[in-house]
Structures are given as structure tokens and as C-alpha cells.
Amino acid sequence: MIRFEDVSKWYKRKTVLHPFSLTVREGSSVGIIGPNGAGKSTFLKMVASLERPSKGTVSFYNEPYEKVIKQVRADIGYVPQDIALYEELTVKEQLSFWKKLEPRGVDEGFLEEMIQTLRLNEVFDQRINRLSGGWKRKVNMCIGLLKNPAICLLDEPTAGVDLAAKEDIIGWLQTLHSEGKTLLYISHDWYELNQLSDEYLLFASGAPVFQGSKDRLLVEKNELMQTYNQDAELSRILQYV
């Protein structure tokens, strides 16, 4: 349902993603892995339509992106790696601020379930600047997914959080997956990846070099390590599969 065809991306003279093609199935939960700087975030931003390809085409629902742009915008929720919250607001104020910005309104039942699962009600009246990194990341996630999106994109959703917050976040993402939503998330954490992914997308040196199940990754990992033997970080990642 999401298809990249011969897509590449460059900034000025710097090529960040070399030409690649891939498809993401509706309802799949895709763990995006790879060394720093391999192009994972740029790829995710292109799915989110925050970045456009320099060359090639992206289609959603078998239609070119340009034709279904409105539906795509409505269907996508993006949780950025960087937390950008208003530090002076309480969690409650923060959520109501972002709710007002949703053009189609918010499904209150869904929001309530997300708040409960992430236990945000425990810190509802606290200002953001008083919260730990784990709570901030949960608020950040709640805002990114406020509109109950069919396609959930998350850039390192559990980076820097403690185990309790991690369990909450993983639990919520598992719920979304079980409801048939499509999940794409970047992670460096094999615990999280094992809990959530039914498919892996591995980036190396500016291109996706593997897409498939964990079983297939296990079969192909030695070959991948040999092919990219200059990339010590990639070998390190694959050692933990």
C-alpha cells in the first residue's frame, strides 16, 4: 500500500539515499534498523511526506502520492525523534492545545485509551519541564498519534526512556498493530524490535539492503555482514539478531 519506486534523495551535492524500490504492506509492523547516518530518518520523513524524493515516485493505495495527498495527510501520524513540547504547559494543556489544531477533530475514545495505556493521567497536571525524559517521550508520542492515524511513523520512540516507560510505549504500539494499523519505526533496541516487528528494513550506506522477516534476516545475516564488511556498526547490529 506504500510503494517507493526508484526513489533517491540528495541535498545539494550530497546523496543521502541511493535509488531504491520497496513496498510496505498494509497492517505490517516494520522495524527500521541500521547504523547512524544510513538514511533511516530521511526515509521515514519521505513516508511522512515531510521530505519529497529528489527522484522517483512514492504511491499510497496504488495511487501516486500527488493524487491522494489529502487522504495520506489524514492517515499519517508522525512521531519525531526530537521532542518539541511547550515546556511551560501542563500535560493536559499541551494535549488540548494540539487537539485544537487537528482539522478533523479527535476521536475521544481513542485518545482516552492512549492516555490510559501510557498512564499520562498520572502526570496530567504537571508542567512538561518537570517531567522525566520517559514521560516527555510518552507525551510526544501521544501528540504525534492524536488523530488515530492508520499509518503510524515513529523515529526512535523509546530512545532514552526507562524500562517502565518503554513497556508502556511498546504495549501501546502492540495494541495499534493488533488493530490493523501500519507501523514503521526506527529503533536501535533489539528488545523493542523483537516485541514489535513482523518485518525488518535494514539500511546501510544510504540504501535499504534487506527487507523481510526475522527468520529471513537470520538466514541472510552472514552474507550481509560479508557484503558490508567495511561497516563495523552494521556487523554489530546484525550480531544481535
Ligand X SMILES: Nc1ncnc2c1ncn2[C@@H]1O[C@H](COP(=O)(O)OP(=O)(O)OP(=O)(O)O)[C@@H](O)[C@H]1O
Residue 77 touches ligand X, criterion: CB under 6 A? no
Q: How far is the CB of 215 from ligand X (least distance, A)?
A: 25
What would you report as the CA-atom Rg of the chain, rounded to the nearest whole angstrom?
A: 18
User: What does the per-residue mask of binding to ligand X show for 27-56, with x meaning CB under 6 A?
Assistant: -------x-xxxxxxx--------------
In degrees rounded to 5, what are phi and psi of residue 2?
-115, 125
Q: How many residues at the interface with ligand X, by CB under 6 A?
A: 12
Residue 149, sorted as left (phi over 0), alpha (psi -120 to 50) or beta, turns out to be beta
Q: How far is the CB of 238 from ligand X (least distance, A)?
A: 16
Residue nearest ligand X (C-beta atom): 41
Residue 56, sorted as left (phi over 0), alpha (psi -120 to 50) or beta, turns out to be left
Name the one residue in this structure whose C-alpha cell is 515513529.
154
Angle, helices 91-100/133-144, rounded to nearest 10 degrees: 20
For residue 13, the SS3 value is coil
Residue 18 or 99 with smaller CB distance to ligand X: 18
Q: How far is the CB of 34 from ligand X (least distance, A)?
A: 6
Residue 15 or 174 with smaller CB distance to ligand X: 15
Question: By the criterion CB under 6 A, which residues form the site for ligand X?
Answer: 11, 14, 16, 34, 36-42, 203
